[in-house]
Amino acid sequence: MTQPVVVIENLVKRYKELVALDHLNLQINEGEIFGLLGPNGSGKTTAISCVLALLNFDKGSVKVFGKEIQPDSYDIKKNIGVVLQNVAVFRELTVYENIDYFCGLYIKDKRLRKQYVNEAVEFVGLGEYVKFYPKKLSGGLLRRLNIACGIAHKPKLIILDEPTVAVDPQSRNRILEGIEDLNAQGATVIYTSHYMEEVEQVCSRIAIIDKGRKIAEGTKEELKKMIKTDEKIHIEVVGLSETQLSQLRQLPHVYRADYAANELTVYCNGGKHNIVHILKYLQENEVSFGRVYTQLPTLNDVFLEITGKELRD
């Protein structure tokens, strides 16, 4: 049985009137890539800061590797790698010097550190840029440097707080592949993001939080099962009347249908051949239609259905 690496119980953090974390409970197990998904301001970074003892909290407890974390829990911190949301590197040092500095905060042995730094450089693909200063790097390369600084010392737990913000697709893919590699090498990963595609792609278990509260938790499959939508059908339709839309809503397994900007979106739960039934109705009622495609539910649908709002508000 896998051991819990991080256990958050009833965590409450207030900023004056604002409740940033409202009795948050989470458990992250060894070997997981745990996704913390939520819109901006939902409390993801606050939760991460509490796990790292960067913030004092008002109530609850945070245990990392079985021990309560405190600002001076240096024996715990030496096993944690951190990639903060804001790129935290020295503008005055080169790529290599930056990685060496942060790795050196954990690894005292010079030879081992050199090996680790070189591995980190290779891991994030910055080999050509080791002598570059951060201001000469693109946004994507800078993010990669930030990751290298966080993971060079080969920690058991890696916390990545929105590491792909403002990153080009190529760098983003590289970062996501890197996270999977780190996990494959044995690291437990906590990954926060408001990009559901990324979370869907890399995370083995996901918690969705909003307004400081956990609103759902499970694997992506488990989360999708929590909602009614099994299938979403999009059809390009011209001139659909209100009566016809109402009749569509009466079809078997259809629980919702919207029509806007010549696009009909039909939400179905369960059943088979739903698309056939809908197209048959349109043909029989002489409604002309064009492009047709279906979509399986996404985490965005999960979020939308649970909270009633889009993830990227």
Partner 1 sequence: MQVFKAYMKIVKKKIPSIIVYFAIFIGISIAMTQAGSESERKDFAQTELKIAIENLDDGELSKALVDYLQVNHEVTEIPETEDELLDAIFCRKLDYVLYIPAGFTEKFLAGEREGSLRDRKVPQSSSGMFADSQVEGFLSTLGVYLDAGFSVDESIKNTMEDYELSVEVAFLNGENAAEKHMAVYYFQYLPYIFISTIILAIGPVLLVFLRRDINARNKCSSVSFQTRNLWLIGGSIVVALAEYLFLMAIGICMYPDYILTLKGAVGAFNAFLSLLFALSVTFLFAQIVKKENALNMVSNVCSLTLAFLGGIFVPLDIFGENVLKVSKFIPTYWYVTANDAIAHVTKFSEITDPIWHGFAIQGIYAVALLTLGMLINRIRARE
Tell me, what amino acid is at 220? Answer: K
Counting contacts by CB under 8 A, is residue 157 touching partner 1?
no
User: Which residues share a beta bridge with 14?
Assistant: 19
Residue 80 in the binding site for partner 1 (CB under 8 A):
yes
For partner 1, the closer of residues 71 and 252 by Cβ is 71
Q: How far is the CB of 87 from partner 1 (least distance, A)?
A: 7
What's the closest the beta carbon of residue 149 comes to partner 1, in angstroms? 8
Residue 82 is a binding residue for partner 1 (CB under 8 A) = yes
Residues 116-155 that bind partner 1 (CB under 8 A): 149
75 touches partner 1 (CB under 8 A): yes
Beta bridge partners of 259: 264
Distance in angstroms (rounded) separating the CA atoms of residues 51 and 39: 19
d(CA 126, CA 122): 6
Query: Is 14 within 8 Å of 20 (Cβ atoms)?
Result: yes
Please select the residue that binds partner 1; options are 23, 101, 232, 234, rule is CB under 8 A: 101
Tell me which of 56, 170, 243, 250 binds partner 1, using CB under 8 A. Answer: 56
Q: Select the span of 29-37, 95-103, 187-195, 199-207 touching partner 1 (CB under 8 A).
A: 95-103
Which contiguous run of DSSP H or E holds residue 148?
Answer: helix 139-151
86 is a contact residue toward partner 1 (CB under 8 A): yes
CA distance 1 to 244: 55
32 class by beta-carbon count within 10 Å (0-12 exposed, 13-18 middle, 19+ buried): buried
Q: How many residues of this chain interact with partner 1, rule: CB under 8 A? A: 28
Single-letter amino acid code for the residue at 116: Y
Q: CB of 56 within 8 A of CB of 212?
A: no
Taking CB under 8 A as the rule, does residue 77 contact partner 1? yes
Cβ-based nearer residue to partner 1, 73 or 204: 73
Asked if 36 contacts 50 with a C-beta cutoff of 8 angstroms, the reply is no
Cβ 41 vs Cβ 212: under 8 Å: no
- Contact window for partner 1 (CB under 8 A) among 2-10, 50-58, 180-188, 284-292: 50-58
Cβ 13 to partner 1, closest distance in Å? 14
Among 3, 58, 71, 293, binds partner 1 (CB under 8 A): 71
| Site membership for partner 1, residue 106 (CB under 8 A) | yes
The answer to whether the CB of 69 falls within 8 A of the CB of 157 is no
- Rounded to whole angstroms, how far apart are CA atoms 220 and 169? 22
> Minimal distance in Å, beta carbon 186 to partner 1?
19
The site for partner 1 (CB under 8 A) is made up of 52-54, 56, 71-72, 74-75, 77-78, 80, 82, 84, 86-93, 97, 101-102, 104-106, 149
